[in-house]
Amino acid sequence: MADSTEVTELDMLKLAAAADAGLETIPEEEPKEKVETADTSSGDTDQQPATDEKAETNKEASSEVSATEEKSKEAKSSLTTQPSEDKSESASEEKKPSRYQRSLSRLEKEWENVKEERARLKAEREAIEQAKAQREASQSGSETQKTGNRRFSADDYREAAKSYREEGRDDLAKLAEQKATEVETEEQKESQARVQEQLKKAWDENLFKEVEANPELKDSGSKLYKAVSEMLQTHAILRNYPNGINDAVGIAKVKLKAEAASDLEKKVAEYERELAQLRKATTPASGQPS
């Protein structure tokens, strides 16, 4: 029985080896050495499928472990990122300004623009007023500008000259007298300039009144305008006192009336002469029958 069992196992080993080699029949038995070799090789062959199956099992197990690890990582990643996304969305919703806040921001910006514009207009108005005040001050101060810059008057220099003479310093006394004379000359010129300016201002005001009263003076081609211009050129003194323009207009009017009267007299005389000639021509001669 033992032999039959061994034969059966041997046959099974042969069948397995033949199947691995791709043979359809079992090869014939060879000598004992070959049989032992075959037994040894068959033993190796019998162990090889088990090794392959184990490798495949290990590979499948490692694949399943890798897949499980990947799924766990994905789940962990999704669990980790989801709260951050929710947090960013909630933060963006919190940062987004409301309609009231936008309107308030717009109104504040417009109010700032209005304040800037008001400040700019105020600065321009102040600059204009300052320039106007400076111009008026320069005009009113032009009369006293030179005297204001002068430190000493003519009397001061004369007092100094007197003191120098008492001290025996005649050279300095002479210089002080010369300076006093120069100051007096400058003061006289300044006084005359002020008087002339006042006279001119009054003369211009009277001219304006005459033009308003006599519109013919606005027309350079009118008889009155030409007569007044001739009077001012012929008699320059009419420009040196405030009422000179009034006198010039009055004299021009009288002259024009006189010329008009003279022309009228000439015309009357001419008419009378023509009338006399007409009467003489129409009167019958003496001695002729009536």
**pTM score of the predicted model:** 0.36
| pLDDT at residue number 152 | 81
| Residue in this structure with the two tokens 């080699």, named with its chain if needed | 21
Cβ-based neighbours of 246, under 8 Å, separated by 6 or more:
206, 210
- Cα four-point dihedral sign 126, 132, 137, 138: positive
Q: What is the dihedral of CA 262, 268, 272, 277, to 10 degrees?
A: 80
Domain boundaries, the chain: 2-73, 102-141, 151-213, 215-281
Digit-coded pLDDT (tens) for 78-120? 444 445 555 555 555 556 778 888 888 888 888 888 888 888 8
pLDDT above 60: residue 224 = yes
When comparing pLDDT for 25 and 157, which is higher? 157
Lowest mean pLDDT among 114-118, 197-201, 227-231: 114-118
C-alpha distances in angstroms, 27 versus 17, 39, 40, 66?
10, 13, 16, 46
| pLDDT at residue number 43 | 45
Query: What's the rounded mean pLDDT across residues 166-185?
Result: 88
Digit-coded pLDDT (tens) for 13-49? 777 676 666 655 555 555 444 444 444 444 444 444 4
